[in-house]
Each structure stands twice: as C-alpha cells, then as structure tokens.
Amino acid sequence: MSFLSTLFPAYAEIFLLAMVSVILIADLFTSGRTKTVTYLLVQLTLLGCSLITVATHQNGVTHLFHNMFVDDLMSDVLKLLSYLAVSMMLVYSRSYLLARGLFSGEFLALVLFALMGIMVMISASHFLTLYLGLELLSLSLYAVVALQRDSATATEAAMKYFILGALASGLLLYGMSMLYGATGTLDVNAVSAAIQHGVANKALLVFGLVFIVSGLAFKLGAVPFHMWVPDVYHGAPTAMTMLIGTAPKLAAFAFVMRILVEGMQPLMIHWSGMLAILAVLSMAVGNISAIAQTNIKRMFAYSTIAHMGFLLVGVLSGGIEGYGSAMFYAVIYVLMSLGGFGMIMLLSREGFEADTLNDFKGLNQRSPWLAFMMLLLMFSMAGVPPTVGFYAKFSVLNAAVAAGHIPLVIMAVLFSLIGAFYYLRIVKLMYFDAPESHERIYMQPDSTLLISINGLVVLALGILPGTLMSVCAVSVQQSLLLH
Amino acid sequence: MIFGFHLLSVAIWLPMIFGVLVLATGHDRNAPLARKIALVGAVLSFLVTLPLYTGFDKMTSAMQFVEMKDWIVRFNIHYHLGVDGISVLFILLNSFFTPLVVLAGWKVIEKRVAQYLAAFLIMSGLVNGVFASLDAILFYVFWEAMLIPMFIIIGVWGGANRVYAAVKFFLYTLLGSLLMLVALLYLYTHSGGSFEILDYHEMAIPFTAQILVFLAFFMAFSVKVPMFPVHTWLPDAHVEAPTGGSVVLAAIMLKVGAYGFLRFSMPIAPDASHSLSGFMITLSLIAVVYIGLVALTQADMKKLIAYSSISHMGFVTLGFFIFNAYGMEGALMQMISHGFVAGALFLCIGVMYDRVHSRQIVDYGGVANKMPVFAAFFMLFAMANSGLPGTSGFVGEFMVIMGAVKANFWYAFLAASTLVFGAAYTLWMYKRVIFGAVTNDHVAHLHDITLREKFIFAILAITVLVMGLYPLPVSEILHVSVNDLLVHLARSKI
C-alpha cells in the first residue's frame, strides 16, 4: 500500500498503460467497422488521464524511481495539453480515417502508446528515461505512418522517418554516452551539478553536447537536420501528419528543457550559439522553401521548420522569459497546427485529399464559416494580431530583445515577413479566387464544431492571452527554480 | 456623459459589434437587412463619438476620456485609452466617414454584401482603437489588425489587378510594422518594463538608440503615410480597391501613419527627429514636387488622386519636421482637410465608375452636359484639392507654407509649387472629364446623381466649405496639444 501511494505522481502513466491493455483486448471483442466503442474508450481514457493529472498535482518538484522521473508544474501542464491535442486529433481524424479504412484498434493503441512516450519524455529527469520515452514515441509513430500499407507514399514516408529517426536516436545516444563518460552519471540534475563543479572534462562535454544538439535538431526538424520533415508530412495520411506535427512537439520542447536547460545550463554559452545557427537556418530555409510549395501539407512542413526555428530563439534567449515564451510558442503552435490539419481533413472526402493549395480556392464561396476559421488560423500562423500567433512571436521576440540578441530578432522578424506571404496566399486563394469545384463540403458535426472552437480560441486567446502566458511562465519557473 | 467614462471603448467596440451583426446576416439574399443594420451601426457609431468633441477640454494637452485596465499583466500591458487634441479629431473624422462609406456602397456592391459592410465597420472600430490607444502593444494590435479587413476589401471587391495590390499593400505595411515591434520591444526593455507610450515620452534614450528607434518607427509610419520612396503600394491599392476602400484608404489610413510620427517618433526620439529632420524634409519635398509632377501625367483618375494624396501627405510630413506651430498645426489641418477632400474625390470618381465602369480620363468628356449637379459638386472638391482659398484645402497648405518660410525660404518655395501643380493636375483632369462636348455613348447615357448620392456630397461639401471659411472649431482643439508637443520636442532627451 505504502509503495503504491508513493507512485502517485506517475498514476496517469500507469492508468494509461492499463487502459491501453484494456483497449487492445476490448477491441478484439467489439465488432463494427466504426469502432465506436473503442473510440469512446480512448476518449474516456484521455479524460481519465486529465483528471488524474489534475488530482495528483502538487506544488513543487517530486522525484520518483530514483530520480528518473519527475513531476512538476511544467510536466503537468504539458501533459494536460498533450491529452487535449491527442483528443482533438482523434476527433478531427475519425471520419477521415474511417473513409480510408485506417481507423483500426491498432491505430488507436499506437496513438496511446505514442502519448505514453510523450508523457515519459515530459517527466523524464534521467537520460535513460528520456531516451526510453523518445523511442516509445518514435516507434509508435513509425508504425502509425506505415499503417496505410497499400500506399507507396506512406510506406516511403515511414521508411524515411524510420531511418533518419534511428540515425538521430543514435546521435543522441552517442552524445549521452559522452556525457556519461565526462560526468559519471545520467541523472539530469547530477550531470548539471557535475558540470557546475567543474569536475567534468570540458572537451568531452562539449563534444557530447554537439551530438545531443544534433539529435535534438533532428527530432525538432531544425535545419540542417530537417530533410525528413517535408517528406514525412507529405507522404503520411493527413491524420498521421497531424499526430506527428502536434503533441510530439510539446514533448520535444520538454526534451530541450530537460536536457539543455536542466542538465546543461552551465554550458549554455556553448549550446545557445549552436541553437542560434539552427534557428536562423530553420527560419530562412523553412520560410523561403514554403513559398515554393503547391501541396499544403508540404507547405505546413516547411512552416513547421520555420516555427521550430522561432521556438529555438526563445530557448536560446534563456531565463524565465525565454523558456516561458518558448513553451507558450510550442503550445500555440500545436493549437494552430491542429486547426490547420483539421481543415485539410474536413475538406477531404472519400477518395479525395484536399491537400493542394488549389483545393482551398474559393472556399469563402463554398463555406464562409470554414473560410473564416482558416483565415484566423492563417493570420495566427503569420503572427498578425489580434490572433494568438502574434503573442507567441511577441513573447519570444521580447525575451530575445531582453537578452540582447537584437540582430537575431531582426532576422526573425524579416523571415516572418517572408513567412507571412505564403499564409496570405491561402487567404488569397480562399477569398479572392473562384472555387475549382463546387462539390458540397460534407461537414462532420463533431469536427466542424471542433474547428469552430479551435479557430475562435485562436482569436479569443489573441484578445486575452495573459492567463496562458502566465501559466507557461510560472510552470517553467517552478520547474527550474528548485535546481 | 452617456456612457460614463467609457466613451472611447464604445467608439471602438460599437462598430465592431455591428460588424459582427452584419456578418451574421450571412447570405446575399439578406443584403437589404445587412445594409440597414450597417447603416444604423455606422450612424450610431458616429453619434456616440460626438460627446468626444463637445466634452473635450480645449485648455489642456493632457489625455482625456482616459480608460485604464490591466490587460496582460505579465508584460505590464494595459488596456489604456485616451485622447488629446491631436488624436480626437481623427476619431471624429473616421467615425464621420463610416456612414458615408456604407452609403456609397449601397447599390454598387452586390456580391457578398454582408462581408463587405462588416469589413468596413470592423475596420472603423480598429482605426478608432489606433487613435485612442495609449499603450504601445494595444496600439500595435489595432494597427496590425486593421490590415486584415483592408486586405480582404481590396482583394475581394477590387478591380482587375486586385490580388497583386492587396498582397503588396499587406506585405509593405507588415514589413514596417514588424520593425516597429522590434523598436517597441527595445523601449520596453529600456524602460524597465513599460509599454506606456506616455512613459516613453519622458524617458531618456541615448542618441544612437534614438536614431535606431526613429528609423524603425520611420519604416512603419512612412509606409503608411506613404512617403517617397515607399509610396508605390498606394497607387496600386487605390486603383484596385472598391470606392469605399479608396475612400477609407485616403481619408483614414494615410492619417494613421502621420499620426504615428506625432505620437511615437517625434516625442520618443526628439533628438533623432531634429538631427534627421533634413532627411525627412527632403523626402517630403520630393513627395510634394516630384509626385505632383507624376500626378500630372496620369491617365487613370483614381491613380491621379492617389498620387495627389501622396503629394499632399508630403505637405503634412513637411509641416511636422519644420518644428514650429504653424507648420504642425497646418499639417494637422491639412490631414483633416485632405481626409474630406480626397474622400470626396474618390466618391466622385466612384459615382462615374459605377455608371461607365471606367476610370480612364479619355473615356469621359462632357459629363457636365449630362450630370450638372454632380459636376458642380465635383468642381468644389477639385478646387479644394488644389487649395483654393475658402475651401478647407487652403487653410492647411497656407499654414504649412508660412511655417516653412520661417524655417527656410527654399522649403517654402518648393512647397508652394504644389499650389501650381496641384491646381494643374486636378483642374486639367476636371476639364477633360467634365467639360467639352459629349464624346461617347457611355457619357451620353449618363443620368445625374441620385438623392442618396446628393446627400453624401452635400454633407461633404458643407464640411469642406465650413472648414475653409471658419477653421477655428478644429484648430482650437489642436492648439494646446500642438504647443505642448513642440515644447516637449525642444527638450533634449539624451
């Protein structure tokens, strides 16, 4: 009994694992193509996880399993947002996947395993736990992408994703082993302390750091480690793309925070320079390449690369401002991506993918409401107030100015101007052009409702962004102060 | 006061609420309803701004009708509104134009009526927000948000080349705005965490930083004014925008840029303003003279008035940067007057365009034979545009020239050339379009303006004449604020 009660910070993970097992078995015994029972069970599981995470929340930082697992405000907030993102992703993609025969029990189980990986990463305070979470997430995602067996592009995307992902994992492991060699420990806090006291071999540390940053850049999709992003985003079925492009970004943010900020804060002078190069290159390549795309999923892929560059600007600016703004940016990015991919799926129908830019032509005439939602999402991605995307950019830029990175800020601003062009082009296609097809859009009630909420939240948070900003700042602060 | 102390909030949010209501009417089959709601909204929004004039204390340059609420506590951003003698007039000007714009598009706009009217109402509220904001981020939000409805207006209801014009308009202004954002973030850090514009006014800033801040603001505001050489978006946007869009662009949007100089650039970086005044004056004079000549060669009426606007706005920036009371008050008078006159001229062109569907001067000729009443109104506005004494156009130009004489004779000499060029391009166009024999079928089938159009023009004509003959009610509002601003600008802040 006493042992079980000490596990309470990890109750959400334990519950999720138990439920995945239940769902896997239950799925065998529930017939029906629509998988309604399984689907509802999954949504209930997510709800249960949220309740447990809220109920087991406590102030301060709690370590568990010999410092391998940590529970703090940042982990709780990020987990809650991950549940939300996964839940929204399932609502958006349900009818899309049903129409393509991909809405299977395995898919749902893999999604939950991926979520499990995300949660482990978010709560990791040990390099091994981090790696474990990362692999659990990545392997589930590889499988999810490959789920559409008869599609050549999806299989190709899965292959690319797998090979490059494995390479990145290798880089990370290599970096971690060097860190271990230099400090004699894999515990994030102990590594930090060892570096602080100067007992570690500096050359070895920095060498390891290079590998770790490269691995991280791979996972984030930052230039020059971004090659997989456009192909995977493009090749995978849109629902899978949405899964890859949303909640895992929260995990990637947590990953950066745990490794670089908590583990290697004393080496900030080294990694912030590396991140600056990655950030500028990502913003440049991402924004400029996105202009040339005709496929909207590919465009979003490049835009993700650019957004990750922007997020890195927040991280490298440091301090509560910098990390808080990066977290806010990640959260907002996930919210906007969900809406963007959700819209693609909403416009798709059986046997038809609305994934080229031309499919958005004249959307205002076909459905003014959807066009308006997409307009809000696009202006938010471009960072134009009064949408929340502006505050995401604003807080990052503010942190960077406060840290004295003025040239970086000016570059970020100029690249986001370039970025504004391709988001604007979507608005142009929707509002200024005549539609190519007058096919009726079959608006699923659940995803239509969700996209409306999604778009309006982007606007509402743009009018009152204060609370979410504070939540991000406070959670970063609470997680870092006690080290 | 009717709304307690929330007059400015009402001026901002009322048109937007009506905009959403109009949008809710949805489909074009409800267009008559949409038009009525929009008109009611626009008129109400104008009426609620009238207490801003009647209740205005002319004796102080302090901010009035102040509202202050916490907005984003983490960044110390407030919902802080207030107006002084400089900004209050523009809120009135903007609210005055909204009903006219709604009326001007009454018949002509037939597709997506609700969206069209809603865009204008929402924009009207946003523009009021720009003029009333005393918090830099609040200002920035309104400033940027303004782009969205304008982008849609130009792109959806504009002419043949509308997409190019809309995108150019958006990207040009966004570039400037983003650099302004960097400057604001710098000021926030430098001030130790404040986004209050009035705090920035009092804050000491080193000279180099002032220059950089000034240049960043310059990028934002000069694009909006627009000043030479970043003016090229304006002729495109004007020509392609629907009539209402052109009116709002000319009457309101351009003023926002010039207002920015007075509210941000000059008081925040006075030393930089003084040392860069030569640069600013040069650009202004180039706008006045060169753009005036460019206007002379235009074959498209809207383009001609667009260039004329740039030239007149050159006068405004000239008046600001000669740093004396005549210049600055004259510039502000010129801004108000130009709002009425350019707005009226675009409406005149719109009236002809609605009937003939051409903006080319050569497609007209002898319009006076068919539309005598219209020709008379058009005459008055054309005269006002060329600065005829007795019209509002004269007051501002005259004061700026007087101010310029005090600063430097040659400034005044070059500036005064506008009286020649302005008269030349406006009246020459007028002559070719209105006088002479009826040259083609289209003109032969013209019918004179309707009651609705007469009403719009009569209101504008009265305003232009009253402001020209008796400008005191306007200038007395400005006076104290302008004087205090000049005193402030004379103090070094290094």
Q: What pLDDT digit, counting tens, does each position of B428-481 carry? A: 888 888 888 887 887 788 888 888 888 888 988 998 888 888 888 888 888 888
Query: pLDDT higher for A142 or B450?
Result: A142
Cross-chain residue pair A466–B72, CB shorter than 8 Å: yes
Contact call for residues B380 and B388 (beta carbons, < 8 A): no
Cis geometry, peptide bond prior to residue B226 (ω within 30 degrees of 0)? yes
Which of B177, B178, B194 has the most A C-beta neighbours within 10 Å, making it the best mutation to test the interface with A? B178
Range of A154-158, A330-334, B173-177 with top mean pLDDT: A330-334
Token representation of residue A140? 């589930």
Which of A418, A428, A430, A456 has the most B C-beta neighbours within 10 Å, making it the best mutation to test the interface with B? A428
The dihedrals phi and psi of A236, each to the nearest 5 degrees, come to -70, 150
Bridge partners (DSSP) of residue A295 are: A356
pLDDT of A482 above 60: no
Q: What is the pLDDT of residue A337?
A: 93
The dihedrals phi and psi of A104, each to the nearest 5 degrees, come to -110, 170
Return the closest-CA partner of residue A69 out of A108, A119, A138, A115: A119
Q: 3-state DSSP call for residue B133?
A: strand
Q: What is the pLDDT of residue B4?
A: 60
Q: Nearest by CB to A417, which of B71, B74, B171? A: B171
Cross-chain residue pair A384–B166, CB shorter than 8 Å: no
Cα–Cα separations (whole angstroms), residue B158 to B242, B250, B263: 5, 15, 32
In the 8-state DSSP scheme, what is residue B363?
A: G
- A-facing residues of B in 113-142 (CB < 8 A) are 115, 137, 140-141
Point out the least confidently predicted range of A24-33, A398-407, B66-75, B183-192.
A24-33
Q: Which residues of A touch B112 (CB under 8 A)?
A: 364
What whole-number distance in Å separates Cα of residue B204 and Cα of residue B210? 9
In the 8-state DSSP scheme, what is residue B70?
A: E
What whole-number distance in Å separates Cα of residue B272 and Cα of residue A78? 46
pLDDT band at A332 (very low <50, low <70, confident <90, very high): very high
pLDDT of A85 above 90: yes
What whole-number distance in Å separates Cα of residue A427 and Cα of residue A421? 10
Concatenate the DSSP letters of all residues of B183-233 into one string: HHHHHHHHTTS--BHHHHHH----HHHHHHHHHHHHHHHHHHTTPTTS-TH
Q: How far is B299 from chain A (nearest CA, A)?
A: 27
Q: 3-state DSSP call for residue B135?
A: strand
Q: What is the pLDDT of residue A1?
A: 52
pLDDT of A2 above 50: yes
Cross-chain residue pair B170–A424, CB shorter than 8 Å: yes
Token representation of residue A93? 């993609």
Return the closest-CA partner of residue A129 out of A255, A3, A253: A255
Contact call for residues A28 and A37 (beta carbons, < 8 A): no
A416-425 pLDDT, tens digit per residue, is 899 889 998 9
Q: What is the pLDDT of residue A481?
A: 60
Contacts of A192 (CB under 8 A, 6+ apart): A262, A263, A264, A265, A266, A483
CB atoms within 10 A of CB B414: 18
Cross-chain residue pair A390–B151, CB shorter than 8 Å: no
Q: What is the pLDDT of residue B158?
A: 78
- The type of residue at A379 is F
CB atoms within 10 A of CB A208: 24
What whole-number distance in Å separates Cα of residue A430 and Cα of residue B299? 33
Cross-chain residue pair B188–A401, CB shorter than 8 Å: yes
Q: What is the pLDDT of residue A83?
A: 94
Which of A381, A432, A461 has the most B C-beta neighbours within 10 Å, making it the best mutation to test the interface with B? A432
* Dihedral sign for Cα atoms in the order A86, A88, A89, A94: positive
Cross-chain residue pair B182–A402, CB shorter than 8 Å: no
Return the closest-CA partner of residue A187 out of A56, A336, A67: A67
What whole-number distance in Å separates Cα of residue B154 and Cα of residue B148? 10
- Three-class secondary structure assignment of chain A: CHHHHHCHHHHHHHHHHHHHHHHHHHHHHCCCCCCHHHHHHHHHHHHHHHHHHHHCCCCCCEEECCCCEEECHHHHHHHHHHHHHHHHHHHHHHHHHHHCCCCCHHHHHHHHHHHHHHHHHHCECEHHHHHHHHHHHHHHHHHHHCCCCCCHHHHHHHHHHHHHHHHHHHHHHHHHHHHHHHHCCCEHHHHHHHHHCCCCCHHHHHHHHHHHHHHHHHHHCCCCCCCHHHHHHHHCCHHHHHHHHCHHHHHHHHHHHHHHHHHHHHHHHHHHHHHHHHHHHHHHHHHHHHHCCCEHHHHHHHHHHHHHHHHHHHHHHCHHHHHHHHHHHHHHHHHHHHHHHHHHHHHCECCECCCEHHHHCCHHHHCHHHHHHHHHHHHHHHCCCCCHHHHHHHHHHHHHHHCCCHHHHHHHHHHHHHHHHHHHHHHHHHHHCCCCCCCCCCCCHHHHHHHHHHHHHHHHHHHCCHHHHHHHHHHHHHHHHCC
Kindly state the percentage of chain A with pLDDT values over 70: 99
Bridge partners (DSSP) of residue B72 are: B77
Q: What is the pLDDT of residue B3?
A: 52
- The type of residue at B456 is I
Return the closest-CA partner of residue B306 out of B389, B144, B425: B425
* Residue B180 CA, distance from chain mean position: 20
Which segments of chain B have a pLDDT < 70?
Answer: 1-5
Return the closest-CA partner of residue A30 out of A21, A38, A41, A22: A38
Residue written as tokens 């986004």? B195
Cross-chain residue pair B189–A401, CB shorter than 8 Å: yes
Closest B-chain CA to A422: B167
* Residue B199 CA, distance from chain mean position: 26
The residue-averaged pLDDT of A320-342 equals 92
pLDDT of A439 above 80: no
Query: pLDDT higher for A478 or A376?
Result: A376
